[in-house]
Amino acid sequence: MSLNISGRRAAAAALTAALLVPLAACSSNDDSEKDTGGSTGSAPQADLTVLAAASLTDVFKTAGAAYEKAHPGTKITFSFAGSQELVAQVSQGAPADVLVTADTKSMDKVKADAGAPTIIAKNRLVIATGEGNPKKIDELKDLADTRLKVVLAAPEVPAGKYSKQILDKQKITVKPVSQEPNVRAVLSKVELGEADAGLVYKTDAESAKDKVDAVEIPDEQNAVAKYPAATLKDSKNAAAAAAFVAWLSSPEGQKILQDAGFQKP
């Protein structure tokens, strides 16, 4: 009799163990998917919306493609505009996961809506001219020539603020033919020949080097643009958003930014 009881107990134990094996496997898989989103990286899968300064247009397209390749199942949609426009969108509750501006003051305006920002890159201004520099512009003070058609970013745009800062510092008065809503619009005016010159970021001029020339501005006359990135508190993909922001500061992210001409944070 005792042998039968022992046999039954052993059989029950074996059956229980057999049932627990697939359950344990399912639990392990579920945990793995929560941690990695089924990707080969450590970031969870998500469809991310990133609001980014216009001057990041080219480099972020490259960065986004690289990130998606390294994190299968993740898709990043970028919305590029002047930082002041992005701030307005965030303040109005636009659905997004990450914000990257071209200055710290813009980011400060949405501190109640964003996490702690991280500076991911720096930039400097140059004078963009037509290809071959037909007007022979050599330095900042040349922009004061009223015969030149100069275009600047609007004062509320980071590039416009930096432009005003360096022109005021050198006591140079420029009367622009237009003030644009973002730095890419300034670059476009010069590319199309609608302006003789404009102040843009070094990386903007680099992105259009087959259409414009860049006149360097000495460091002592220049301004340093800082790019903070932060997750947005209303994001429905907080972990994935934080992972992307962290990746921008990683060696992989930094190489892409610096290859495009951005400076180290």
Tens digits of per-residue pLDDT, 19-71? 333 333 333 333 333 333 333 446 678 899 999 999 999 999 999 999 999 99
Tell me: pLDDT of 212 over 90: yes
Please state which architecture CATH assigns to domain 47-122+226-259: 3-Layer(aba) Sandwich (3.40)
What are the phi and psi torsion angles at 179 (to 5°)? Answer: -125, 120
| pLDDT number for residue 133 | 97
All CATH 3.40.190.10 domain ranges in the chain, comma separated: 47-122+226-259, 123-224
The domain 123-224: what is its CATH number? 3.40.190.10
**Predicted structure pTM score:** 0.81
Q: Note the pLDDT tens digit of each residue in 89-110.
A: 999 999 999 999 999 999 999 9
Q: Are 71 and 53 in contact (CB under 8 A)?
A: no
pLDDT, position 42 = 61
Query: Is residue 11 pLDDT above 60, yes or no?
Result: no
pLDDT for res 45 = 81
Residue 162 or residue 45, greater confidence: 162
Higher pLDDT, residue 188 or 18: 188
